[in-house]
Structure 1
Amino acid sequence: MVITVIEKKIGFIGLGLMGSRMVKRHLDKGYELILWNRTIEKAKQIGGIVAKSPKELAEKCNIIFLMLSDENACDSVIFGAQGLIKGLKRNQDFIIVNFSTVSPLYGVKASNALKELGASYIEAPVWGSVNEAEHGNLVILLSGGQKEIEKVRPTLQELAKEIIYMGEIGKASAMKLVMNAFSLTTVALFSEVVSLGLGWNLEASQIFDILSKTWMKAIVDKYGQRILSDDIPQRFKVDLAKKDLFYALKSGYYKNIPLHIISGAVQSYTGATSFSLANLDYTRNIFRYYKKYLKERK
């Protein structure tokens, strides 16, 4: 039996590390999905029905999920020449649910523009990575109209261990940036101080052992092996980490909040992006960036 949301088909756009796993989970649960991806072959490999464009997808679905890399990708998919809005019909009960990590400024702008067209926009950034997406253990932060959220809640529950309503548009994206900025700056700082120790001929195992005798044990346990090993499966790309920190920085500037530590982390991740290996996790790539300078100074 096919499961539907208010008897309507569901569209999904964006089939990267996260999106592909979210789609597979819905397909495994019996949902009928219509997909679009910039690389059409990737959509065909996953299964489901494949649309030729976001416009065509909007003509066939009233509820569409997005999991895209950045605001430019969201703009292109929603507002572009073959974007979702080109397939909208007036007075249609149309909802876009955006799982992507974007700035609260973008969420407000997109929501207002869609409202003028009679469509609804829900912010739904997720906390978790590929393992959580595969097993339905994501945390989803929601902002938007509660009536619209209730219409899509059954599909969201297939993906999440917890769904948290944050309030009006902008708040969910702001909270996601708070979480990502805290996590990403922590990884950068951890990589930096370990590199400092290595520069003075300490062993990584010695650094980890001493740090683990303090409150910093949780950081060592979570990130210690991830910064050292090339064999840890990729959970997040370093260029997306840089992007998220930039959005946090932009959002802080808009509110006249000085974010000096995040600003420094943006520089570190920018350097790591130019030095990164595409298949490695962001944690390993940021440490390789610092380790590069150790080698150069020997």
Structure 2
Amino acid sequence: MTTSVGFIGVGNMGNPMAGNVLKNFPLTVFDLNPAAASNLIAAGARKAGSVQEVLDQSEIVMTCLPASPDVEALYLAAGGLIERARRDTILIDLSSVLPSTPRKLEPKAKERGVHFLEAPVSGGVTGARAGTLAVMVGGDASVLERARPILRSLGPNIFHVGPVGAGNTVKAINNMMACVNSLAMMEGVVLGRKAGIDANIIYEVVKASSGGSKALERIQSAIIPRNFAPGFKVQLMNKDLETFTTIAKELHVPISFANVAQRYQQAALAAGLGDQDTSVAFTIIEKLANLKLE
């Protein structure tokens, strides 16, 4: 029998993820902005008028919300998901939040006979549309196995990284490393251009050398064409860097690269670039070097 799935929060990331779930499972969707779900309804999803209606129609409910306060309000408020869910329902939060948030939710869910997994994702909007996301699951392994067929709709790489809280910790680690890597690439390109070296030459040489990385591809897809349309927004990266630095403080881990990366993201925010792709930080480095890449 096909598992019925609910999806709450179909915004920038949630919408394409829900669309891929819909290709394989009957789906009920809800968003505070009804227009956000219009394409999914047109594709065959059932429109819910409330959170309760999603729960009534679904064995597994997935959520994708902007930040920890939104998630805690949805799950823990009076009349929220945990209070209203039927016993044995599986709740999966795909949001990128502080690890303390899912750690609050899981015991409350268990008290009511409800299962909870955190499952933050990596791959951005492009990966969400293509169904190629990496999913970092924290929670009970047996519950993950029940939910795995649905999570496979999001991407082929489903990782069980440990107990609840571990998923968002690994997500923060990944995004910090990705941001630092990207900024190192940008700084290298700016220095090379200042020295009169073509950005395409830098790309080709580094790609064939030890400095090659996924970040390097942004030279041709974003930096040279100056295409900073949002794939992963500055404001979201800044939030994930804040998560990383918060975890580091809690664990008394000294950090430096993450702090530098966050300063660049905050500079982009201050310049009004929060809704653009993180690669727009290149323009900040350009200005510091008094360089304009043509």
Q: Verify same fold: TM over 0.5.
A: yes
Corresponding residue of 1:255: 251
Cα distance, 1:23 vs. partner?
1.3
**How far apart are the structure 1 equivalents of 2:273 and 2:197?**
26
Task: Determine if the alignment matches structure 1 residue 275 to structure 2 residue 283.
Answer: no
Partner of residue 85, structure 2: 88
CA distance in 2, matches of 1:54, 1:112: 21
Identity level (%): 25
2:91 partner SS: strand
Checking the alignment, whether the CA contact within 8 Å between 2:115 and 2:143 is kept in structure 1 is yes
Aligned residue number for residue 47 of structure 2: 50
- The residue matched to 1:96 in structure 2 has which SS? strand
Judged with a 3 Å threshold, the aligned counterparts in structure 2 of structure 1 residues 50 and 194 are, in CA distance, closer, same or farther, namely same
Alignment of 1:166-181 (within 5 A): 166-181=161-176
Tell me whether 122-131 or 249-258 shows the greater mean CA deviation.
122-131
Does the 8 A contact of 2:109 with 2:115 survive in 1?
yes
Question: What TM-score comes out, normalization by structure 2 length?
Answer: 0.85
Whether 2:56 is the aligned partner of 1:62: answer: no
Instruction: Specify every segment of 5 or more residues in structure 1 that has no aligned partner in the other structure, as ranges.
Output: none
- Taking the TM superposition and a 5 Å limit, the aligned residue runs for 1:88-237 are 88-89=85-86, 92-199=87-194, 203-205=198-200, 207-208=202-203, 211-212=206-207, 214-218=209-213, 221-225=216-220, 226-231=222-227, 234-237=230-233
Q: Retained in 2: the 8 A contact 1:4–1:10? A: no
SS at match of 2:70: helix
Contact 1:105 1:251 in 2 (8 A): no
Report the 3-state secondary structure (helix = DSSP H, G, I; strand = E; otherwise coil) of the residue aligned with 2:13.
helix
Question: 1: CA distance between counterparts of 2:185 and 2:166?
Answer: 29
Query: Which amino acid letter does the alignment assign opposite residue 17 of structure 1?
Result: N
Partner Cα separation in structure 1 for residue 227 and residue 264 of structure 2: 22
Q: Which sections of structure 2, spanning at least 5 residues, go unmatched?
A: none
* Distance across 1 between alignment mates of 2:46 and 2:35: 12
Where does residue 28 of structure 2 map in the other structure? 34
Indicate the larger mover: 165-174 or 269-278.
269-278
> Secondary structure at the residue paired with 1:189?
helix
Deviation string, structure 1 residues 184-226 (Cα, Å, up to 9, x no partner): 1111232234334445665534544554563113356422122
Distance between the aligned counterparts of 1:197 and 1:72, measured in 2? 43
2:244 partner amino acid: A
Contact 1:56 1:87 (8 Å CA) reproduced: no
Choose 74-83 or 120-129, whichever is displaced more: 74-83
Shift of 1:279: 6.1
Contact 1:212 1:220 (C-alpha < 8 Å) held by counterparts = no
Report deviation, 1:18.
2.4
How far residue 98 of structure 1 moved from its aligned partner, in angstroms, is 1.4
Any conservation in 2 of the 1:55–1:86 contact (CA below 8 Å)? no
For 1:217 and 1:45, how far apart are their aligned partners in 2? 38
| Pairs within 5 Å for 1:7-18 | 9-18=4-13
With 76-85 and 267-276 compared, the bigger mean Cα shift is at: 76-85
Shift in Å at residue 11 of structure 1? 0.8
Quote the Cα distance in structure 2 between the aligned partners of 1:33 and 1:213.
45
Q: State the superposition RMSD in angstroms.
A: 2.7
Matched-pair contact (CA < 8 Å) for 1:53–1:82:
no
Contact kept in structure 2, 1:10 and 1:63, CA below 8 Å: yes
Between the two proteins, the alignment pairs up a number of residues equal to 288
159 and 212 in structure 1: CA distance in 2 versus 1, 3 angstrom threshold: closer
Task: State whether residues 101 and 176 of structure 1, in contact with CA within 8 Å, keep that contact through their aligned partners in structure 2.
Answer: yes
The structural deviation recorded for 1:164 is 1.9
Q: Which has the higher mean CA deviation after the structures are superposed, 70-79 or 247-256? A: 70-79
Opposite residue 245 of structure 2, the aligned amino acid is L
Letter in 1 for 2:140: G
Q: Does the CA contact (< 8 Å) of 1:100 and 1:124 recur in 2?
A: yes
TM-score, normalised relative to structure 1: 0.84
3-state DSSP of counterpart to 2:156? strand
Alpha carbons of 1:215 and 1:33: their partners in 2 closer, same or farther (altered >3 Å)?
Answer: same
* Aligned 8 A contact 1:62 1:94 in 2: yes
